């Protein structure tokens, strides 16, 4: 076709459409096991906005098998943002880990006042806590659509170049033509229990990391 076009429709059609040779004339992307994003320097941040049981299990496997520490940010801090007395403390705690190139899970906690309608706001504030340190990252794994959108917006990333699919529905990409950070996105209540762990292994370029006890830096 001489004119550019944009596909609109169900995400479930993507794999089938991409397989039609008459529609696309692009070289095959590297496989998930040979991606040039694997093993990059810098911290890997796993940003979890979803409160689903699926995401909970995925985080648990990542903590237990890879020993990645976790910070659970109280919703009260995210609701008030910079007005909250503990905002600067959380900004510093997250920054201390990432500035030291230490991998980290950061996720939203839950409290009795939680309202599903506030999800977008909480995700935006979660991204704001990370944004000042985004340039240090060697990789980002964002689970939860609102969380991924908020983080990419806070980092001024307007487009992603898809590179591979780690498992069904878990995509790895990079911002435009830049080399870093590699970015993995997936829906929150989606994927196998291995999804976050597998994404982490992919970005670290590690086949069988040491199984260490989970280290939790904070709880809600």
Domain CATH code at residue 113: 3.40.980.20
CA 44 from centre of chain? 9
> Domain for residue 6, yes or no?
no
- Structure tokens belonging to residue 33: 């096991």
- % of the chain residues with pLDDT over 90: 45
> Domain for residue 16, yes or no?
no
* Cross-strand partners of 17: none
Q: For residue 196, what are the domain limits?
A: 36-204
Q: What is the pLDDT of residue 214?
A: 40
Domain tally for the chain? 1
> Domain for residue 42, yes or no?
yes
> Domain for residue 218, yes or no?
no
Residue 217: count of CB within 10 angstroms of its CB: 15
pLDDT in tens, 1-25: 567 666 666 555 666 666 776 665 5
> Domain for residue 157, yes or no?
yes
> Domain for residue 220, yes or no?
no
Contact yes or no for 39/100 (Cβ under 8 A): no
- % of the chain residues with pLDDT over 70: 74
The CA distance from 177 to 22, in Å, is 26
- Structure tokens belonging to residue 169: 């529905």
């Amino acid at each position: 076709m001489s004119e550019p076009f944009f596909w609109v429709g169900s995400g479930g059609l993507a794999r089938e459409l991409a397989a039609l040779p008459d529609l696309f004339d692009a070289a095959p992307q590297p496989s998930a096991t040979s991606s040039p994003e694997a093993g990059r320097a810098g911290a890997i941040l796993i940003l979890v906005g979803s409160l689903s049981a699926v995401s909970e299990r995925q985080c648990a496997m990542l903590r237990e098998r890879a020993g990645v520490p976790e910070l659970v940010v109280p919703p009260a801090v995210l609701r008030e943002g910079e007005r909250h007395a503990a905002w600067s403390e959380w900004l510093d705690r997250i920054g201390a880990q990432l500035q030291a190139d230490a991998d980290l899970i950061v996720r939203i906690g839950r409290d009795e006042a939680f309202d599903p309608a506030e999800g977008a706001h909480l995700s935006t504030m979660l991204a704001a806590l990370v944004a000042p340190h985004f340039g240090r990252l060697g990789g980002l794994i964002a689970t939860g659509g609102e969380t991924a959108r908020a983080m990419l917006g806070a980092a001024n990333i307007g487009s992603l170049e898809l590179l591979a699919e780690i498992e069904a529905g878990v995509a790895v990409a990079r911002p435009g033509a830049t080399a870093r950070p590699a970015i993995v996105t997936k829906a929150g209540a989606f994927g196998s229990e291995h999804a976050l762990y597998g994404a982490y292994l992919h970005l670290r370029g590690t086949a069988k990391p040491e199984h260490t006890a989970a280290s939790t830096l904070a709880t809600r």
